[in-house]
Chain A
Amino acid sequence: MSAVRTFVDLLAGRRDPAALAPRDWDGVIGVARSEAMLATLAHSLADAGLPPAVATLFADQRAAAKVAQAQALWEAEMARRALAPTGIEFVLLKGAAYAAANMACSAGRQIGDLDILVLAHDIRRAENLLLKAGWEWVKSDPYDDAYYRQHMHELPPMIHKARDRMIDVHHTILPRTHRITPDALALVSDAVTSSAGFAVLNPADMACHCAAHMLADGDLQGGLRNLWDFHTMTRDFVAADPGFWGQLDGRASLHGLQSAVHRAARLSRDLYGAALPDGWDRQDPADTWFRRRLFARDDWGRVTDPLLEQAFYIRSHWLRMPPVMLAKHLWTKWRKR
């Protein structure tokens, strides 16, 4: 069995880690590292019987993830101190939001940049306040800068000059030029307050954003992690509120994300064993390609299907902008190489 399938089976609880041969762990650890999920695996196998070397490595990973998470939440606090005094409210997105809400998927989850969502009419003010508070531009290229400002769903990335941490300030969750236009006003106005005191998206919107990020915007890089987020959050939201799937359907259709959300649900059933209700528990032949892309890693952590990887990359751009614009964009980028 391939290492990536063993890895997914371990996360899903379908496989007993004690039954793995010592040599199997190399591939599992290699795949987990290349998916940035080693600490996630370390958390889900925290109580399992493991070979001593694996148990020690996993303990390192859990400790490191705890520090990284505290640092990520500190970044959120820094953003709050920069923005709150002038009344700009923001909603935490992705990893920092999961950590702030103490969700199951945040256990060991790697958190990269700080992602925040503000109302579109606040974004210029937010930008100025962050610049004053020590963040600065990363991209100096005027084309990239203009491209972000005109067409993207976020400001060009900024980095803090003292702490060396990036912030992405969003005004919506998909590029302006994307075929789908989620209701950004509803996202912000229906946000909820997390246990750590930060605003986060409400459960249904959070699942919509997770699916949109994975399937409507990205090229499925890091897909196993995004799918794990989606799987564990929907599992826990349903446990807390049996009506969750219905609410999710409603919000997904409000944002135009029904197809992405349903596909994410089917994939989390296929990979992680999610139980889906009627109306969701269907088969779609196109899912095969997504499963193949998610499983396309060998036991050295390499992508095994470069053509499929390329196809998903092209697909992500195809969804992001109309064809003529895409052609212009790629032409400009190519000339600048």
Chain B
Amino acid sequence: MKNKLRIAVGPVQFRIGSDWAEPIAALARLYAGYPQDDTRPADATVRLFAARPWRRWLRPSVHIGGDFVVPDALPLPLSMGLLAAEMGMNLQIALGWRRHMLLHASAVAQGGRALIMSGESGSGKSTLAALLGEGDWRLMGDEFTLIDLFGGDTLAFPRAVSLKNEAIAEVAARVDPARLGPLLAATPKGDIRHLIPRADAIAAMHEPLRPALLLFPRFGGEVAVEPMGEGEAFVRLTEASTNYVALGEAGFAALTRLVRETPAFGISYPDSAAGIALVEQLWAEAAK
């Protein structure tokens, strides 16, 4: 394809091709600080394409494809090309990655150990990870966390953080504007703005870490902490994993080990400040 880019996030080398220059230029800016190895073959291919040749120019709409395609997925307007690229990268990993167990979860690290936060969209896991990653924590990822199938370690997938709706202003107030992508207003997922992770998070993205704490955050309601049993954590994480079934016995073994060795809590919090205080408090107990 005419416009293309290679991006390495965590263990995954992507190759992204596009019928338009704009999404590639936007990606190149977000990922300029990531390591580049032009000789490394791509693990995953993303394609952003026009379904009909004239739709490159006439009401351009971006279809998402690549190694794996979701039939009947709706295209996005070119102004949301960056979101299309992000969705394309997520899709290829969610459907194609087999080296690690893939959890739909955010993760941050401190003192050489990892905190994993799993929840549905709207739970605040991305916002919490982004805010913690601006403090004393190292951001490991806002969307996917990888678990080594044999050693049980946590691996980072620090793609550009996808800030949504209210989280945009909250994070934007604290960071250098040069680390923010363009505002994508009124997308199917709400307002979106990307945050480039801190340089130390990108530099350390290949370091595997032991998981020390599992949290299942829920945004809204009074502050509450509920210890979670191994069984419930296990079932919730099977639902949060895109490749648990495909991994078979190795996935079962890795997940069993994770919930047995890692304390887990469900938490509710009314605002980010309360959420962060809760995380810090539980971490202080767990990481002792």
Contact = CB atoms under 8 A, between A and B. Distances in A.
B98 A64 contact: yes
A61 B247 CA distance: 11
B35 to A, nearest CB: 13
Nearest to A22: B39
B52 to A, nearest CB: 11
Nearest to A28: B41
B39 A61 contact: no
Interface string A29-45: 11001100000000000
A25 B45 contact: no
A109 to B, nearest CB: 16
Contacts of B43: 29, 53, 57
B42 A29 contact: yes
A68 B245 CA distance: 9
A300 B47 contact: yes
Interface residues of B, number: 24
A70 interface: yes
Contacts of B38: 22
A60 B98 contact: yes
Interface string B26-42: 00000000000011111
Interface string B89-118: 000000010110000000000000000000
A20 B15 CA distance: 18
A334 B52 CA distance: 20
B133 interface: no
B41 A67 contact: no
A4 to B, nearest CB: 14
Contacts of B15: 26, 30
Given A33-B67, A301-B67, A68 B41 contact: no
B47 A302 contact: yes
B248 A71 contact: yes
Contacts of B68: 33
B276 to A, nearest CB: 36
Interface in A244-285: none
Contacts of B98: 60-61, 63-64
B45 A26 contact: yes
A310 interface: no
Given A60-B98, A301-B67, A68 B42 contact: no
Interface in B38-72: 38-43, 45, 47, 49, 66-68
B40 A53 contact: yes
B285 interface: no
B1 interface: yes
Contact of A60 (B1, B13, B49, B99): B99
B63 to A, nearest CB: 12
Contact of B67 (A25, A34, A53, A71): A34
Contacts of B45: 26, 29-30, 33, 300-301
A26 B38 CA distance: 11
Interface in A51-93: 51, 53-54, 56-57, 60-61, 63-64, 67-68, 70-71
B47 A67 contact: no
Contact of B41 (A54, A61, A64): A54
Nearest to B68: A33
B246 interface: yes
10 contacts: A22-B41, A23-B39, A29-B42, A30-B67, A33-B67, A51-B39, A53-B41, A60-B98, A67-B249, A301-B45
Given A22-B38, A33-B45, 16 more contacts: A23-B39, A25-B42, A26-B15, A26-B41, A29-B43, A30-B67, A33-B68, A33-B96, A51-B40, A53-B13, A53-B43, A63-B98, A64-B246, A67-B247, A67-B248, A300-B45
Interface of B: 1, 13, 15, 17, 38-43, 45, 47, 49, 66-68, 96, 98-99, 246-250
The 9 closest A-B pairs by CB, nearest first: A25-B41, A67-B248, A64-B98, A33-B67, A22-B39, A60-B98, A60-B99, A30-B45, A26-B42
